[in-house]
Amino acid sequence: MSPWDSLDSWSNYSSRPPATLEEQLYQHWQYWRKQETPQELIGRFRKLFLDVANYPDGAIAGTLLKLSEQDTAEREFKYVLNRCCYTLINLWYTQPRDHWAIPELVQMFDDLPPAPATSPKAKKVYTLVKEFSQTEQYAALVRLQKIMTPQREAEVPMVAVIEEQPLAYRIRHYPFLYDNSLLTKDSGQEQKHNISDLRRRAETDLGIRLARYHAQHQMPGKVLQGVNPTLLDAPGLDEALRFYTGKLDGRTHRDQARWFATYSKTVRSFRDFKDEFVDYLIHPIAAVEPKYSGNHFTRNLRQYLRETLAEFDNQPLNSFLLVETCRRLLNFLVVDSPNRPVFRNFRHLVNDVGYTLTMGLLLRLVLFCTAAKPWLERCLSVLFTVHERRTCKEVPWLVTSLEHANVALITNFGDVGYQF
């Protein structure tokens, strides 16, 4: 799922038969997680991976040493260590009283003691553990750590403090980033299930708070205003809610997406669909900024779509063409690829027409093609990952974009009974 790891390495690792040494290690943690408290398990984890020569279970210590000596250890040890972490984390996640242990386990890799003065084999294990901190698996763990670290309401920092924090500290507030930021290509089914649950809970909480805020702002003359659950100022949030949930030409964005989906089934060819698609997407922007009916950006967008999958132009529109076109269009509008993260079109739109209209365009795309919504989340995750070490005040355009994405997606895709 993450583009920064070696695809070949994971492919080779995951396609071969289960390794006896690795299974012995996993079974070891599956046994002890039933016997010991989280605090004891963290101590045991630290002892095995950072001081293997003195680990009380000689057989498991030997297993770890043999794993570190394999020819593939430099490439594949990170997968083994990551799975060991999640063997404990997956259990702790299901027990709210043990949630504190998740960030503490991850902190272990940030507080490594000096290398033990033991055998070269033991030092090799230590070196592999230290190198783990340079992997995408560890980066995903650190993001999970930030989400799972307790945050009392009274400790929520003021906007001035938030501006000084790295963007990474905001990850907990953007559940649409969770799938791509917390999962890696070697994530197991239990981990995926837990992250899905974590996301659902965060989306539900945000949706309820947004709905409460929205409802209270619909009451004329009410003095007490609802608590703003976003970093947008009150006028900005009100504008966003009106645009993402209100009507344009008598229809909501969701209604217009349904209408265009029905209409698109009648187009004669894929070529005709692409031209109509541009008009559908740009309409709300052109209604406010008439120049977008045919300015440089719109012409480039139209030309990009005309060249997209042009070999299928004479064929009828089908689900493959629809989804692939929308995915490529999101690359064009947001960011082209993780390995070459160019996002000039996105920045141009934000600077020229503002956050609401820019996110509204992306919202219309994924409302029309809901199968492309995970791809939009992926594109936004790429932007987040590229900038997560920058402070929020260094990337205000991205912070505000993520806040708008939250509002747009929650109000149009939330499905827990609240109304907007």
pLDDT-based confidence at residue 227 (cuts at 50, 70, 90): confident
Is the residue at 292 inside a domain?
Answer: yes
Q: What digits encode the pLDDT tens for the residues 294-322?
A: 999 999 999 999 999 999 999 999 999 99
* 61-65, 190-194, 218-222: least confidently modelled range: 218-222
Q: What digits encode the pLDDT tens for the residues 191-215?
A: 999 999 999 999 999 999 999 888 8
Is the residue at 177 inside a domain?
Answer: no
146 lies in the same domain as 200: no
279 lies in the same domain as 136: no
The more confident residue out of 74 and 153 is 74
Is the residue at 50 inside a domain?
Answer: yes
Distance of CA 209 to the CA centre of its chain: 21
pTM assigned to the model: 0.91
Q: What digits encode the pLDDT tens for the residues 266-295?
A: 999 999 999 999 999 999 999 999 999 999
Is the residue at 159 inside a domain?
Answer: no
Number of domains in the chain: 2
Q: What digits encode the pLDDT tens for the residues 362-414?
A: 999 999 999 999 999 999 999 999 999 999 999 999 999 999 999 999 999 97
116 lies in the same domain as 245: no
Is the residue at 47 inside a domain?
Answer: yes
206 lies in the same domain as 121: no
Domain C-terminal end among 94, 125, 150: 150
pLDDT-based confidence at residue 340 (cuts at 50, 70, 90): confident
208 lies in the same domain as 141: no
- Torsion angle, alpha carbons of 386, 9, 81, 62, to 10: -150
Q: How much is the pLDDT for 118?
A: 77
**Is it the case that residue 1 has pLDDT exceeding 50?**
no
Is the residue at 157 inside a domain?
Answer: no
| Helix (DSSP H) and strand (DSSP E) numbers for the chain | 20, 2
Q: How much is the pLDDT for 8?
A: 47
Q: How much is the pLDDT for 4?
A: 40
13 lies in the same domain as 101: yes
138 lies in the same domain as 222: no
233 lies in the same domain as 316: yes
Q: What digits encode the pLDDT tens for the residues 33-57?
A: 999 999 999 999 999 999 999 999 9
Q: How far is CA 418 from CA 113, 203, 207, 211, 302, in A?
A: 50, 12, 7, 6, 37
Q: How much is the pLDDT for 7?
A: 46
Domain C-terminal end among 117, 150, 183: 150
Q: How much is the pLDDT for 11?
A: 57
209 lies in the same domain as 353: yes
DSSP state of 373: H
283 lies in the same domain as 409: yes
Domain C-terminal end among 129, 150, 171: 150
Q: How far apart are the first and last CA of the chain?
A: 33
Percent residues over pLDDT 70 in the chain:
90
The boundaries of the domain holding residue 13 are: 7-150
Distance of CA 383 to the CA centre of its chain: 10
Exposed / middle / buried, residue 121 (Cβ in 10 Å: 0-12, 13-18, 19+): middle
Is the residue at 156 inside a domain?
Answer: no
Is the residue at 119 inside a domain?
Answer: yes
234 lies in the same domain as 381: yes
219 lies in the same domain as 137: no
The more confident residue out of 19 and 243 is 243
